[in-house]
Amino acid sequence: MYTCFVSAPAGVNLTRIKQILLERDIEFIHPSEVLSHGQSISEKVSKLISLSDIFIAVFDNIHENGNTLFELGLAAGYKKQIIILTPPSFSLPSDLTGYLILRVTQDNLDALGFSLDQMLTATLKKLKKRETKTYNDIKKTRKPISNKIHELKIKLDELDPRVASYTLERFVADLLKESGISVIQQSEKPDTGADFAIWSDELGAILGNPILIEIKRAISDRAQAIKVTNQINRYIKKSNSKSAIVLYLEGLPSDSVQEITNKFNILFFRLGDIVEQLQNNTFADTIRIRRNVIAHGGID
């Protein structure tokens, strides 16, 4: 069982958060439930945070948040997986923007469950890899999905330009899963607005986690490319993700859209283009190559 230390100001109702954790077989840890008389509070809290797998910081606009900030600093020092919950209008220190921040209300915590599912999926995959292979073994055995390319190409060719959104999303989900990416479909009340979010250990260092995935039928001209870029920027800002990948069925070549938008953190791929590239590269390598080319001032 995983453990989660929840830090929140006194007076904040944590019942729903505790329920969400227990539903995922994650033990809820809060100082009020474990501290006993005669103990040094700071030492005990530090110890509990160090032993926890996940740290959730809850801020609000009513209560004093000093202790929560202090405990968040401890969790960061221990390099814990951190989720920050704040009201939509809450102002956080700028040095916290690198963490996963969910701007939610206490009566709508669907995004917390969604994020925990991502986090647990990524952690379980990481642990499984550690148990069976070293990193070098993994690197040697990583392969593109060329054995599935023919099947994917056939499915792609069969997609009508007026294809239903759920059919297009299903194709992209299959594509990502075949590429070894964990795909988490959003809940019925999504917090980010994007179609998917993925968690990738290989891409996390350059794009951050989670990475938003937005799917479009077409990007046909400059105006449409800019419109989609503005939309994705709003999604990124709302979710506090750092990056997004846009996959679209028809329209301008991937390189052309990327050149128009000129964004380091939003990568565009026409589906036909990315399927071709996956013949020789893994999904992570395909994304990394595109990102590196943009960072060095050109489009491949």
Instruction: Say how far apart CA 117 and CA 277 lie, in whole Å.
Output: 29
* Range ranked top by mean pLDDT from 72-81, 133-142, 179-188: 72-81
Query: Could you identify the residue written with the tokens 């019925």?
Result: 188
Q: Which of 34-43, 83-92, 267-276 has the highest mean pLDDT?
A: 267-276
- In the chain, the percentage of residues whose pLDDT exceeds 90 is 29
How high is the pLDDT of residue 104?
Answer: 81
Q: Provide the pLDDT for residue 99.
A: 80
Better-scored residue on pLDDT, 6 or 201: 6
Whole-angstrom distance, CA of residue 5 vs CA of residue 256: 46
Q: What is the pLDDT of residues 4-37, one digit of tens each?
A: 999 999 888 899 999 999 998 899 998 776 555 5
What token pair was written down for 242?
């750092």
The token pair that represents 10 in the structure block: 């006194």
- Reported as a single tens digit per residue, the pLDDT across 139-164 is 444 555 656 777 888 888 888 888 88
pLDDT tens digits for 108-121?
Answer: 787 788 878 777 77
Supply the DSSP symbol for 262: -
pLDDT > 60? residue 281: yes
**The domain 142-295 is classified under which CATH number: 3.40.50.2300, 3.40.50.300, 3.40.1350.10, 3.50.50.60?**
3.40.1350.10
Task: Report d(CA 222, CA 217) in Å as an integer.
Answer: 15
Mean pLDDT of 50-77: 90
pLDDT of residue 180: 73
pLDDT confidence of residue 132: 43
The CATH class of 2-116 is alpha beta
Domain ranges of the chain: 2-116, 142-295
d(CA 44, CA 63): 23
Average pLDDT rounded to a whole number, residues 268-277: 93
With a cut of 50, say whether residue 85 has pLDDT above it: yes
pLDDT at residue number 264: 85
SS (H, E, C) 11-79: CCCCHHHHHHHHHCCEEEECHHHHCCCCCCHHHHHHHHHHHCCEEEEECCCCCCCHHHHHHHHHHHHCC
pLDDT at 134: 43
Within 8 A by CB and 6+ apart from 245, the residues are 211, 212, 213, 214, 266, 267, 268, 269, 287
Instruction: Identify which has the larger pLDDT, 243 or 187.
Output: 243
pLDDT tier at 284 (50, 70, 90 boundaries)? confident
Please give the pLDDT value at position 8: 93
| Burial (Cβ within 10 Å: 0-12, 13-18, ≥19) of residue 195 | buried
pLDDT at position 98 is 74
For 198, residues 6+ apart whose C-beta sits below 8 A from its C-beta are: 176, 181, 182, 183, 184, 210, 211, 213
- E strand or H helix at 223, and its extent? helix 222-239
State the pLDDT at residue 179.
Answer: 79
| Minimum mean pLDDT range among 56-65, 100-109, 219-228, 266-275 | 100-109
Determine the average pLDDT of the residues in 82-110: 81
